[in-house]
């Protein structure tokens, strides 16, 4: 196996955001905020006219077309300013001026956007037949039918106009709890020997080839998280209580219901997914970690060895150009158009990959708006996992650009489909690596693929179960950090199995999972997307040439179709438990091959 030195930070790209705005004082910011304010002012002139025109389909169709167009225009301007503030702040968490700017822009956007709250409320006063009759008279309005469908989903959970305005006006202040959480983690210094590591660096060290290095990093991270747990627990407790109150007023039956509604899935479908994964715990995670322990000459593994390489040699390192080549060539095998779209992100300064102090952990592709382009954010450290993360985020970026002709409102994709292109991108790169691997190298790659699958499916469903238990317990009152840690140990122990020891300190590891704070009940979407992609991969094998155009059509549909409609051309139905078991079976076969190669 060829080894390469860890990539130099100076060789890694940083984005430039000046095609959005040139800085906090860029006059285009005020111009865009004013344009959003004016669009909403024009929209307010339609107040009451929707209901007044309900008996006149032609007039109602014209008002809907005008109204949704103004709504989208305001959305584009507000989201562009918000995206700029968020993107810039995510690489400057230690800069108080950027933190203030982000908070101020969020507050101003909230106030401007509040003027349009009446619009969706008034749409939901109309009957279904009245809307359909209006759409039949006006093609421009009919274009927005999928968005109107999604607006109508929340009809039974809306509050009065005054209450909706109150929630909107207080949202910027509430979001400061998320900001406090982010800033606490970004300032964290993890003491590892003589080094002070950032959170991303410490997490990356848990995959180090040296067992002692993994152990000291894990213990250092546990101490750092423990020190900040009072703040992080307060953030989680406060936001979950706020959610609890709002859910009660909106008459949601359970804490995950609002997320299911946004994803256009029903509780039973997610429950079927969860049950299928939990039933496979013994055959997947429990079995694999027992095999891994045996391969490492151990009876069991400490939690910091869960993602350890199978040998103590330094793992293969990739420089930025190698990662770029692997991703683009893999995308090209699917269809040259996919590679071409991904290539533009390398040709332009649209990727920020260089780890540095003050930069947030994690990775994402921010779509901004449909009339702009996405930006890709990650912390590239040269590991195989980083190459797959690059493919993952560029998959998102390709998806976002394919859907952009629909406009911002229709391009916005529910989480049930949002992870499809990203996980598919990872799969393409992995298949490319596996094709070229032989013998021991193939076994190492299989281990990596299995562990990625376990992290994406089993681990994320365990996260979902942790959130479910936490929110249920929060109904009885605030949870102390040790109570939260106890729930974490219980749920993660069930998913990992008896071959993983949850040593002292692991009870604090819930605290860095930002989805719990930023996007409650988001995490099951990763398992949903991964198993959905496994099914799509099988379909590609059946008909490689016919697959690409159908897949492109799926991505280009953005949020204009439900996941059931989007997958119908492939003959797939995720509402059936058998669908999830098919994907889990593919992962189980990888474990079979890993065992056979041992």
| C-alpha closest to that of 222 among 238, 199, 241, 245 | 199
The alpha carbon of 439 is separated from its chain's Cα centroid by a whole number of angstroms, namely 35
- By DSSP bridging, strand 351-352 and strand 500-501 are unpaired
d(CA 329, CA 345): 15
- Which one, of 381, 400, 387, 455, lies nearest residue 426 by Cα? 387
Report the distance separating Cα 165 and Cα 118, nearest Å.
9
345 or 417: which leads in pLDDT = 345
Q: Taking 50 as the threshold, does the pLDDT of residue 2 lie above it?
A: no
- pLDDT, one tens digit per residue, over 249-274 is 999 999 999 999 988 888 888 998 99
Q: What is the mean pLDDT of the chain?
A: 93
Average pLDDT over residues 495-518: 97
- The alpha-helical segments, DSSP class H, found in 436-543 are 439-453, 459-474, 481-496, 515-518, 524-542
CA 572 to chain centre: 23
- Predicted pLDDT at 168: 87
DSSP-derived letter for residue 574 is: T
CATH number for the domain whose boundaries are 27-174: 1.20.140.70
SS3 180: helix
| Tens-place pLDDT, residues 53-92 | 999 999 999 999 999 999 999 999 999 999 999 999 999 9
Q: DSSP H helical segments within 45-127, as ranges?
A: 49-52, 57-90, 96-114, 117-123
Better pLDDT: 435 or 459: 459
Q: Under DSSP, is residue 391 helix (H, G, I), strand (E, B) or coil?
A: helix
CA distance 336 to 325: 14
Q: Please state the domain extents for the chain.
A: 27-174
Give the pLDDT of residue 1: 39
Q: Write down the pTM of the prediction.
A: 0.80
pLDDT one-digit tens code per residue, 369-391: 999 999 999 999 998 889 999 99
């Amino acid at each position: 196996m060829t080894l390469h030195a860890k990539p130099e930070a100076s060789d890694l790209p940083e984005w430039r955001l000046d095609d959005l705005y040139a800085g906090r004082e860029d006059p285009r910011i005020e111009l865009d905020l004013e344009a959003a304010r004016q669009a909403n002012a024009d929209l307010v002139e339609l107040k009451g006219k929707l209901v007044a025109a309900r008996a006149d389909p032609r007039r109602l169709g014209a008002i809907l077309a005008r109204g949704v167009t103004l709504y989208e225009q305001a959305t584009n301007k507000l989201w562009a300013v918000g995206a700029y503030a968020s993107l810039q702040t995510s690489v400057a968490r230690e800069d108080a001026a950027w933190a203030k700017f982000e908070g101020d822009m969020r507050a101003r956007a909230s106030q401007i956007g509040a003027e349009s709250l009446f619009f969706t409320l008034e749409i939901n006063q109309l009957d279904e037949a009245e809307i359909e009759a209006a759409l039949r008279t006006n093609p421009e309005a009919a274009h927005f039918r999928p968005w109107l469908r999604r607006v109508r989903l929340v009809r039974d959970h809306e509050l009065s106009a005054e209450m909706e305005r109150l929630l909107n006006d207080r949202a910027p202040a509430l979001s400061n709890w998320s900001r406090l959480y982010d800033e606490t983690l970004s300032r964290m210094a993890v003491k590892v020997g003589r080094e002070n590591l950032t959170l991303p660096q410490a997490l990356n060290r848990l995959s180090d080839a040296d067992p002692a290095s993994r152990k000291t990093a894990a213990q250092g991270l546990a101490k750092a998280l423990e020190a900040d747990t009072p703040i992080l627990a307060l953030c989680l407790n406060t936001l979950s209580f706020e959610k609890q109150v709002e859910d009660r007023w909106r008459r949601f039956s359970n804490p995950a219901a609002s997320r299911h509604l946004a994803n256009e899935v029903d509780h039973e479908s997610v429950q079927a997914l969860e049950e299928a994964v939990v039933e496979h715990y013994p055959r997947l995670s429990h079995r694999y970690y027992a095999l891994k322990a045996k391969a490492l000459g151990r009876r069991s593994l400490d939690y910091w060895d869960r993602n350890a390489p199978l040998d103590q040699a330094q793992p293969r390192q990739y420089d930025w150009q190698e990662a770029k080549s692997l991703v683009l060539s893999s995308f090209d095998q699917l269809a040259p158009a996919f590679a071409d779209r991904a290539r533009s992100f390398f040709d332009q300064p649209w990727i920020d990959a260089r780890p540095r102090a003050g930069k947030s952990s994690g990775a994402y592709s921010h779509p901004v708006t449909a009339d702009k382009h996405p930006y890709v954010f990650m912390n590239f450290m040269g590991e195989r996992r980083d190459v797959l993360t690059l493919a993952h985020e560029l998959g998102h970026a390709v998806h976002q650009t394919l859907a952009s002709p629909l406009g911002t409102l229709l391009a916005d994709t529910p989480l049930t489909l949002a992870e499809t292109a990203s996980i598919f991108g990872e799969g393409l790169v992995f298949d490319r690596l596996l094709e070229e691997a032989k013998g021991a190298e193939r076994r190492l790659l299989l281990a990596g693929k299995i562990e990625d699958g376990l992290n994406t499916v089993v681990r994320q469903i365990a996260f979902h179960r942790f959130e479910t238990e936490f929110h249920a317990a929060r109904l009885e009152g605030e949870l102390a950090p040790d109570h939260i840690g106890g729930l974490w140990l219980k749920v993660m122990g069930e998913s990992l199995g008896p071959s993983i020891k949850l040593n002292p300190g692991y009870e604090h590891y819930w605290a860095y999972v930002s989805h719990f704070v930023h996007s409650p009940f988001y995490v099951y979407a990763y398992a949903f997307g991964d198993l959905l992609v496994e099914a799509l991969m099988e379909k590609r094998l059946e008909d490689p040439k016919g697959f690409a155009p159908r897949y492109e059509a799926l991505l280009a549909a953005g949020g204009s179709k439900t996941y059931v409609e989007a997958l119908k051309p492939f003959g797939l139905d995720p509402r059936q438990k058998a669908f999830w078991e098919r994907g889990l079976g593919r992962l189980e076969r990888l474990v079979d091959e890993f065992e056979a190669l041992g």
